[in-house]
Amino acid sequence: MTKQEHITYWVETADKDWAAIQTMYKAKTYLHALFFAHLVLEKLLKAHWVKDNEENFPPKVHNLLNILAKTTLQLPDADKDFLATMNQFQLGGRYPDYKLELYKKLDLSKQKKFLIS
């Protein structure tokens, strides 16, 4: 695969996940939707990572800020804070005990805005 094909792969799979988010949102499965929202952000950042690095295979990590740090993207602090907040949702989809804690502290008034935009 060419570099562009790798980038296209990440963007197209992010688009498909975004469509799934809309379905989850309508079903009011917000935590699952936020897990997928993290995936969308991760995939888009990995597309930038591929664009900005020689290799075509980004690191197998999920921390959005770590991926961002290895790109040329320059985001305002508020956007970096948002990515840090979204990092918590990638764990919620993987570990049931962590998911319960997330449900307890979930502030849907903030996160729902992202899911419907």
pLDDT of residue 30: 85
pTM: 0.85
pLDDT bucket at 88, cuts 50 / 70 / 90: confident
pLDDT of residue 89: 85
Mean pLDDT within 47-73: 97
pLDDT of residue 31: 85
Closest CA to 111 of 91, 95, 87: 87
- The two structure tokens encoding residue 7: 């980038």
CATH architecture classification, 3-116: Up-down Bundle (1.20)
Domain residue extents for the chain: 3-116
From residue 3, how far is each of 10, 25, 27, 45, 97 by CA, in Å?
Answer: 11, 33, 37, 15, 39
pLDDT bucket at 39, cuts 50 / 70 / 90: very high
The answer to whether the Cα torsion of 80, 51, 15, 64 is positive or negative is: negative
Rounded CA-CA distance 94/32 in Å is 10
pLDDT bucket at 29, cuts 50 / 70 / 90: confident
